[in-house]
Structure 1
Amino acid sequence: MARRSSNVHRPAELLGKVLKTHGLEHGFKRGKVLALWPEIAGEMLAQMSEAAALEEGVLLVYVPDSAAAFHLKFQREEFLKRYEKRLPGAVSDIRFREKRFARKGTGKVQAAPLPPLSPEEESRLRALADKTTDELKAAVYRAARAVLQRQKLSPHPPCMICGSPEPENPCKSCQRLLEDPAVKREAGRLTRKPLHPRLEGEPLQAAKYLAQMRLEAQLRELLPQVVKEPDLVAVLQDTARRYLQLRSGQSEVRPYLHLLPETLRQFLKEL
């Protein structure tokens, strides 16, 4: 019997790779953990609780009062075992916090309706799904759509790197990622060659964030020097070109001049 090629992957593996490549892995993992809570807690306990957030492996669960929190804490270890069986390594601890939330007539937690996506967002998701195989298109579209909708539902703005809504921006996970030596090296490369990344997924997004900050700082420093020394305008143009290539992912940057501050545009007519 012929062995299967090592290049053949299960749909779930391919889906995970696609989401990781496009920086959606963190949000998708978070969404799976939150969506699984009713099953982990069981029907009765799910009626008195609501999984709200996942940060650094710690799951935050809202409960209506201290009595519910006390009751659930006794079963924390069992919940963690169930999560480990379903999503290995995803949840390391569970914390319960009191908060009032609406309930349906049945007594179950009432989930807020997911917000609609704009035509531009829908178009971007379709384009992402079209990059995958036919058997994965629908799954990639649904998963990415759910991630974006949950991000928009959060009261916190999306993290500038991973897109997950968190109180801090960048979120704590991405702050640690920014300190990774490999990410810092990639950021240095991207300031010079923005169209030739070597990383992928969230490490790449973190490197792009660092590179963008560095190029913006260079542009701020160069602008007053160009005013005094017009011969430096070529250096300013080259820096702005690399900055726009990093932002757009395109070699031709004229259509993206609007991403530059107005004060810079007047110096870059020949870009």
Structure 2
Amino acid sequence: MEKMKRTPRNYDGSKPTGKEVKELLPGMLAKLSAKCDYKPLQILEAWPEIVGERIGKMTRAVSFDEGVLRVQVKNSTLYSLLVEHEKRRLVTEFQKRFPAVRDIWFKIG
């Protein structure tokens, strides 16, 4: 028994369902340039501004590489608070300004 292929919704049979590269390329280039239009130093310098003065005094953004912001935290209590309660919010805030930020890793030190 031969399987029947599913016909896409709203397909009238008169045109191909694929898209040409020339249609896709401008959008893809715009997305890529938005992700790459940053400098790691800008992201590191934005850390105290985004987290606020109080937390900024007890933490330090150390590096940004491959979409991951690494932050040094002074004590285990603050580490726990940031990882458990604030990480998701902070990642979202950074992504608003810097779409290249995918994650934040905290380290006690």
TM-score tier after normalising by the smaller chain length: 0.5 to 0.7
Corresponding residue SS for 2:39: helix
Equivalent residue for 1:84?
A: 95
Unaligned runs of 5+ in 2: 1-32
User: Does structure 1 residue 93 correspond to structure 2 residue 103?
Assistant: yes
The size of the alignment, in residue pairs, is 74
Q: By percentage of residues, which structure has more helix?
A: 1
Q: Deviations over 1:73-100 (max 9, x none)?
A: 1201111111111112x2111111011x
Instruction: Provide the C-alpha distance between the structure 1 equivalents of 2:98 and 2:104, rounded to a whole number of angstroms.
Output: 14
Instruction: Provide the C-alpha distance between the structure 1 equivalents of 2:48 and 2:74, rounded to a whole number of angstroms.
Output: 16
Corresponding residue SS for 1:82: helix
Corresponding residue SS for 1:59: strand
Corresponding residue SS for 1:38: helix
Query: Among residues 73, 76, 82, which one is paired with 1:72 in the alignment?
Result: 82
Query: Residue type of the partner of 1:49?
Result: T
Equivalent residue for 1:40?
A: 50
Query: Residue type of the partner of 2:89?
Result: E
TM-score (norm 2): 0.62
Instruction: Provide the C-alpha distance between the structure 2 equivalents of 1:84 and 1:93, rounded to a whole number of angstroms.
Output: 9
Q: By percentage of residues, which structure has more strand?
A: 2
Query: Among residues 30, 49, 63, which one is paired with 2:59 in the alignment?
Result: 49
Instruction: Provide the C-alpha distance between the structure 2 equivalents of 1:76 and 1:51, rounded to a whole number of angstroms.
Output: 14
What is the 5 A alignment of 1:1-271? 29-73=39-83, 74-88=85-99, 90-99=100-109
Query: Residue type of the partner of 1:68?
Result: L
User: How much has 1:36 moved relative to structure 2?
Assistant: 0.4
Pair member with larger Rg:
1
Instruction: Provide the C-alpha distance between the structure 1 equivalents of 2:89 and 2:96, rounded to a whole number of angstroms.
Output: 11
Query: Residue type of the partner of 1:46?
Result: G
Structure possessing the higher relative contact order (Cα contacts under 8 Å, 6 or more residues apart): 2
Corresponding residue SS for 1:79: helix
| Cα RMSD, aligned residues only | 1.9
User: How much has 1:65 moved relative to structure 2?
Assistant: 1.5
Query: Residue type of the partner of 1:85?
Result: K
Unaligned runs of 5+ in 1: 1-15, 17-24, 100-271
Instruction: Provide the C-alpha distance between the structure 1 equivalents of 2:72 and 2:66, rounded to a whole number of angstroms.
Output: 17
Q: Deviations over 1:205-260 (max 9, x none)?
A: xxxxxxxxxxxxxxxxxxxxxxxxxxxxxxxxxxxxxxxxxxxxxxxxxxxxxxxx
User: How much has 1:55 moved relative to structure 2?
Assistant: 1.4
